[in-house]
Amino acid sequence: MELEQIKEKMSAGEAKGALIEKVTFAVLPIMFACVVYLMNALSAVHTQLTILEGKMQLVVTSDNKQAPNMGAELAREKLR
């Protein structure tokens, strides 16, 4: 009787271990894909931010005043 109970407990423990192993190996690729997706999204946002900062530097100086636009000023002079 005791031997059968011990065997049942061991088989139940092995079943739990096998289930945990299967779940771990099923979730691991999904987590890796999520991390890769987040890294790509972060890279895209960083690129967009860099472009936006570059465009802002053309419009505004470091002390938040409007930067002179030489191309537009030359065009205005030609129109006059």
Q: Report the domain count for the chain.
A: 1
The CA distances from residue 36 to 21, 26, 49, in Å, are: 23, 17, 20
Look up the domain containing 32 and give its range: 2-79
Report the length, in residues, of the chain.
Answer: 80
Angle (CA) 32 40 24, round 5°: 10
pLDDT at site 70: 67
For the entire predicted model, the pTM comes to 0.55
Q: pLDDT per residue over 14-73, tens digit each?
A: 778 888 888 999 999 999 999 999 999 999 999 999 998 887 776 676 777 776 766 766
